[in-house]
Amino acid sequence: LVQQETLLAVRCMTMFKNVFGSGFLVRTAHVILTWVITLILFLHDTELRKQEETGQLVQPVLFVLLVLVSVLLYFAVSLMDPGFILSDDSDLQFTLGVTEEQQDMIPPSTKSLRQRRCGHCLLQQPMRSKHCQTCQHCVRRYDHHCPWIENCVGEKNHRWFVLYLGERSLWLRTNATLLTVAVLVALLSLIVLLLLGSHLYLVSLNTTTWEFMSRHRISYLKHCGADENPFDRGTFHNLWGFFCLWGTVVWEQVYFREGSDQV
């Protein structure tokens, strides 16, 4: 009884770690994406919105229930114990998860094959179990480690994982067009943000993309050191001059004033 309570406590700690561990951001992103798309479907001029406004609530209610079940299955699969082997037991039957009658039905030669030790956690591994390098545990009937749920798929959660995939398949088919547009917008937004960041960086240095990429071929820069920029007047002044000062700048004056010995 004490041993079972210890195992229960360890499983609770493992679940707590799963909730607030490295998968926290992944799970948060999953939930946000799911509900944002769902809200868009109801807030914009979509078929679900039209049915809701006309009082035809069967499909909207079924859709919301589908989303709820999908999210619940996601958290169930990602947070539950996939079948971690947490300790050795003196009773081999408990370790293998079989009853006394089932134990007697196993041929002796098979028993000897199943009694093997993990090279990482040094625990006895039942057949079809494998050590997961990411979770740092041996998992019963190991299938794979899924980065989207940040958990292993094993003996205890494999069926729920399959059900979750089935729910997601229905959800994706329902939102295929909107999801495709969302992905394209996200990719384009990422490209724009990267361009914005790179240009702000160059502006803060008072240089241009051409000067940054081809300074070794530009006559007035190729003699400068790798970190030397004759137009750099400090981050604040560079940004202030770029955004707040209008008019044409005589860069020759800046160039020769900052380094009169340069030619």
Percent of the chain with pLDDT over 70: 73
pLDDT at position 236 over 90: yes
d(CA 136, CA 139) in angstroms, rounded, equals 9
Model's pTM, two decimal places?
A: 0.54
Q: Please measure the distance between the N-terminal and C-terminal CA atoms of the chain and give it in whole angstroms.
A: 86
- The answer to whether the CB of 224 falls within 8 A of the CB of 217 is no
CA angle 207, 209, 215 (to 5 degrees): 75
Which residues make beta-bridge pairs with 75? none
Catalytic residue list contains 152: no
pLDDT at position 42 over 70: yes
Q: How high is the pLDDT of residue 16? A: 58
Write out the two tokens for 41: 């479907």
Mean pLDDT of 218-233: 84
Confidence of residue 237 (pLDDT cuts 50, 70, 90): very high
pLDDT at position 70 over 90: no
pLDDT in tens, 160-207: 888 888 777 666 666 666 667 667 767 877 887 898 889 999 999 988
Confidence of residue 13 (pLDDT cuts 50, 70, 90): low
pLDDT at position 20 over 60: no
- The answer to whether the CB of 123 falls within 8 A of the CB of 88 is yes
Q: Residue 175: helix, strand or coil by DSSP?
A: coil
Q: Which of 146, 152, 224, 244 is catalytic?
A: 146
Most confident of 3-12, 79-88, 98-107, 113-122: 79-88
d(CA 160, CA 31) in angstroms, rounded, equals 18
d(CA 202, CA 193) in angstroms, rounded, equals 14
